[in-house]
Structure 1
Amino acid sequence: MTNVLIIQADQFRADCLGAAGNPDVRTPHLDRLAGDGVRYRNAYCSFPVCTPSRYSLLTGLHVRQHAGWSNRCTLAPGIDTFPRALRRAGYDTAAVGKMHFTPTYLDVGYDRLELAEQDGPGRYDDDYHRELAAAGLAPVTDLTDQEHEFRATAPPSYWDTYGTGRSNLPEEWHSTSWIGERARQVLTGWTETGDHLLHVSFVKPHHPFDPPAGWDDLYDPAALTPLPGWTDTIPAADQRHRREYFDYEPLDLPRLRQVMAHYYATITHLDHEVGRMLDLLRRRGLYDDTLIVFTADHGEYLGFHHLLLKDGPMYDPVVKVPLLAKFPGQRRRGEVSDALASLVDVAPTVLAACGVAPTTPLPGQDLGDPAAGHDHVLAEDRRHGVAGMVRTGSHKLLWSDAAGEALFDLAADPYELTNLVGDPAHGDQLRRMREAAARWALYDATPPTYVDPAAPQRGAVTTTDRAARQELFAAAVAERLRHQL
């Protein structure tokens, strides 16, 4: 059998890798991983929100099939996952970092979970925040950005900078460092003869873009190049998204470059921790025969159409994800694939590499097969009503019940600025893409979201001191605010 290491980032724009041609960001360890395997240039998530996308990765199913429509949902017990399948096959299974489950330690197949959550009740249940509280520390920068009660009292500097800035935590207590350290502890326990699965999921580079001291000044904002798709103003078609998490109309190039500097710093910090994990495997002689997958749950606008974060249309920067796969036995080293791929391909890829058959047919493909690839990929969204996407190699169809349809010829219009729905010359293309959406019932009513806060859990499940942590963190935020005003 084969060892498996899944490394997942959050809100990682696909072109923010040196290997992807980004002129500024420094990702030497991920670039080396890409050189040892295959980099998929056209990989997409199934839903540009954390939990729905993560459930698609775990199950190999589209969101319509697993019914996890929001960040407060539970994976139904009858739905299989690749961790469950590997556990049944005798694998030691573990997860470290951000899982974003309901309940926090939901049993999806990992026997051991060490969690570092960012949102909702998980923050007050998990290992990371329990240890922070025990050390008398509070993630003030993150809390101010993520929790509504604290964000409502954020100082003007928070809004002026779009929430970017140095973390108040020392580097060793930053979530990226904590997750990397816990992941290395798990990898140190891997035996040469055993069969192991580790899923490492970083909180970053998800906002707030708050690298710790020593990383926050890594990039000179003035030297950074805005990424493709930046526009000086918000296009008319996107004006309804002007005020999502922030008001994006005032975003200008100096502010954007500062945001980029901190976003890139969180990526380089993450890359550093990935490198430490991979070097450990190399030293132990386990690297060559381990399947290693790096990806993210969704992307980030980072200035595309004058927007930030992820709340808005499913343009490529927010729905495309990085995807690197290093296969056992040094197969397919240094390849770059233009095939259409999806996060639903991760589960069948892992199962195939481990010689484990799925319990039911899956819509994804084994990326270990050089011929793998889709005619089209799908994504859905339910944050602003019903919305969907069909993406082929050359075109994209977006629709929503709020904004109607938009068809883009990506060869001629890679920045998705010209809607061709009313152009007779593209009528046949529009019809074919509508038919693809209809085959997947993407226009149909949404199945109900499954939520079960009492579902079976694994790991360090305790909520006994949740109130004490909440009180400690609230006091820390109030104290910071008192000094800032």
Structure 2
Amino acid sequence: MTNPDVVIIQADQLRADCLGVTGNPDVLTPHIDGLAADGITFTEAFCPYPVCTPSRYSLLSGLYPHQHGGLNNHSTLAPGIDTIPRVLRRRGYQTTAVGKMHFTPTYLDVGYQRMILAEQHGPGRYDDDYHRDLRAAGLADVVDLTDQELTVRPDAPPAYWDSFGTGTSNLPDSWHSTTWIGDRAVEEIRAWTPDTPQLLHVSFIKPHHPFDPPAGWADRYRPEELTLLPGWTAELPSADRAWRQAYFDHDRLDEQRLRTTMAAYYATISQLDEQVGRVVTALRAQGRYESSTIVFTADHGEYLGFHHLLLKHGPMYEPVLRVPLIIKLPGNQRAGHRTDALASTVDVAPTVASICRADHDPRLPGLDLTDAAARRTHVFAMTRDPDPAYLVRSATHKLITTAGAEMLFDLRSDPLELRNLAHDPQPGAMPELRRAALRWLQFDAPVPPYLDESATVLDAPNVPDPDPAARREHRDYFLAAVREGRTE
């Protein structure tokens, strides 16, 4: 097919080893595993920034965050930067986004012709389609709001703090964000016309915290039966004590609380997996699955006990940088293939453009992952959480550089990153990694963080007018629901 349909399915905060296909012994993900059986699984894939918005802009643009300027969750992709949807629109594609985008402004025009949004963090949740639908039904996502809305989080009940934000959603499955996003994605596919190639970006909020599967999913896994993942330590290593008090107090994390968190986290993944299955079924019903390109990935990972940490706030250790990456090609080419070649989500944009034979900027730093001859020697990442840090990783070693400090790990002998070799008298890989980091940064003067609250937004009937008073009134409804403990 000259113009294969493209479906990008993106999870949020999904640890790479928390799928059946990537070797997790407990979590059930039959539909994602089925995609892998029909496609290519990249076992060494990484995000370029372990925070939502910067990583999402990198996937869309094929640029690193220091190149596109989206350096935090309240940032804007600058005008003039090309994106996957813009490239494919020029090729004649209909382009649609469903779910969580995490843009500023909420309906920022990055090339999608339709956006049906379900947001979680910041003002986007008071602009989006999902929360308008919840309000129209007299509902509020109380558990999620308690975790995400900083004006009410300090007053969360003791159970929230004791469980590290783990609990059953107050919403039924049919109104949970995961199912709502799946419903909208299936509706879009069913409306496709035969003669128009499609790009559909389906982006789920979960398994991002709070870990709140709805009833029917919440008891899917028994905490005491789960296998603790590699890297759990009984207490915070001394090198990580600066992260004792992040989103939660990590000193209070013990094995039982971790197991309870894992059970809920796995349940949200299995719920998401069911929606992936519905998307695949809808594609098959349209006769478009075999000829489609499907990309499954995540914006970043999750510690889930690694070094006694939860969530993503902390050093750029493997669990927060590694992401699942599965690419099903048209005609199921290379079905079932697994590769340990280094990959980055900045590779997704040039890969999709190549598959669709669409023109794109050849200067993009990413690789075409369908080209067997294209091999990375290093992957790169950065963060500003809270201070600038840069990472370069080879197949065997990792170097993390911050202001006045370095961490070097030999991942062959120390995969759990417990022995910093930066001050070893014979550091081995250090000079080569430093040179690679300099090559990565030296030709791209870092752009300043870019934010434009008044940037061009999508011109569509579901996009609300920028009315601060209306947003405040909408927000007040949901905050009142939290304070009243409203569940229906």
Fold shared per TM-score above 0.5: yes
Structure 2 distance, partners of 1:36, 1:49, is 30
- 1:93 counterpart SS class: strand
Superposition deviation, residue 470 in structure 1 = 1.4
Superposition deviation, residue 445 in structure 1 = 7.8
Structure 2 distance, partners of 1:345, 1:443, is 19
Are 2:12 and 2:52, in contact at CA under 8 Å, matched by a contact in 1?
Answer: yes
Superposition deviation, residue 63 in structure 1 = 0.7
Q: 2:355 aligns with which of 349, 353, 356?
A: 353
Superposition deviation, residue 328 in structure 1 = 0.5
- 1:426 counterpart SS class: coil
Match of 1:13 in 2: 15
Match of 2:230 in 1: 228
User: Structure 2 counterpart of 1:476, which letter?
Assistant: A
Superposition deviation, residue 51 in structure 1 = 0.5
Superposition deviation, residue 284 in structure 1 = 2.0
Match of 1:449 in 2: 449
Structure 2 distance, partners of 1:442, 1:95, is 34
Matched ranges for 1:56-75 at <5 A: 56-75=58-77
Match of 1:319 in 2: 321
Are 2:232 and 2:307, in contact at CA under 8 Å, matched by a contact in 1?
Answer: yes
For residues 112-156 of structure 1, give each alpha carbon's deviation from its aligned partner in whole angstroms, at most 9, with x where no partner exists.
000000011100000000111111111100010001111010011
Are 1:158 and 1:164, in contact at CA under 8 Å, matched by a contact in 2?
Answer: yes
Q: 1:125 aligns with which of 122, 127, 146?
A: 127
Structure 2 distance, partners of 1:120, 1:413, is 38
For residues 271-322 of structure 1, give each alpha carbon's deviation from its aligned partner in whole angstroms, at most 9, with x where no partner exists.
0000011011112211011000000000000000000000000000001100
Superposition deviation, residue 87 in structure 1 = 0.8
Match of 2:161 in 1: 159
Q: 2:345 aligns with which of 338, 343, 346?
A: 343
> Please, which moves more after superposition, 78-87 or 459-468?
459-468
Structure 2-normalised TM-score?
Answer: 0.96
Matched ranges for 1:233-382 at <5 A: 233-382=235-384
User: Structure 2 counterpart of 1:432, which letter?
Assistant: E
Match of 1:169 in 2: 171
Match of 2:408 in 1: 407
- 2:343 counterpart SS class: strand
Superposition deviation, residue 22 in structure 1 = 0.4
Are 1:301 and 1:310, in contact at CA under 8 Å, matched by a contact in 2?
Answer: yes
Structure 2 distance, partners of 1:54, 1:382, is 16
Are 1:192 and 1:286, in contact at CA under 8 Å, matched by a contact in 2?
Answer: no
User: Structure 2 counterpart of 1:366, which letter?
Assistant: D
Structure 1: runs of 5 or more not aligned: none
Match of 2:477 in 1: 472
Structure 2: runs of 5 or more not aligned: none
Superposition deviation, residue 425 in structure 1 = 2.7
For residues 348-398 of structure 1, give each alpha carbon's deviation from its aligned partner in whole angstroms, at most 9, with x where no partner exists.
011001111213521111111223331000000012211011010000001
Structure 2 distance, partners of 1:467, 1:357, is 43
Q: How many residues align?
A: 480
Are 2:68 and 2:447, in contact at CA under 8 Å, matched by a contact in 1?
Answer: no
Are 2:67 and 2:444, in contact at CA under 8 Å, matched by a contact in 1?
Answer: no
Match of 2:115 in 1: 113
Match of 2:149 in 1: 147
Structure 2 distance, partners of 1:43, 1:468, is 42
- 1:357 counterpart SS class: coil
- 1:204 counterpart SS class: strand
User: Structure 2 counterpart of 1:469, which letter?
Assistant: H
Structure 1 distance, partners of 2:74, 2:239, is 30
Identity, % of aligned positions: 59
Structure 2 distance, partners of 1:355, 1:153, is 53
Structure 2 distance, partners of 1:109, 1:444, is 25
Structure 1 distance, partners of 2:98, 2:128, is 11
> Please, which moves more after superposition, 440-449 or 110-119?
440-449
* RMSD of equivalent CA atoms: 1.5
Structure 1 distance, partners of 2:37, 2:251, is 40
User: Structure 2 counterpart of 1:378, which letter?
Assistant: F
Are 1:302 and 1:308, in contact at CA under 8 Å, matched by a contact in 2?
Answer: yes
Match of 1:219 in 2: 221
Structure 2 distance, partners of 1:43, 1:455, is 32
Are 2:92 and 2:196, in contact at CA under 8 Å, matched by a contact in 1?
Answer: no
Superposition deviation, residue 194 in structure 1 = 1.7
User: Structure 2 counterpart of 1:63, which letter?
Assistant: P
Match of 2:35 in 1: 33
Match of 2:393 in 1: 391
Moved over 4 A (4+): 442-446
Are 1:388 and 1:442, in contact at CA under 8 Å, matched by a contact in 2?
Answer: no
Structure 2 distance, partners of 1:261, 1:372, is 39
Superposition deviation, residue 175 in structure 1 = 0.3
Structure 2 distance, partners of 1:21, 1:12, is 14
Q: Cα gap change, 1:19/1:442 in structure 2, threshold over 3 Å: closer, same or farther?
A: farther
Are 1:38 and 1:325, in contact at CA under 8 Å, matched by a contact in 2?
Answer: yes
- 1:20 counterpart SS class: coil
Structure 2 distance, partners of 1:447, 1:358, is 21
Superposition deviation, residue 466 in structure 1 = 2.0
For residues 250-284 of structure 1, give each alpha carbon's deviation from its aligned partner in whole angstroms, at most 9, with x where no partner exists.
21111000000000000000000000110111122
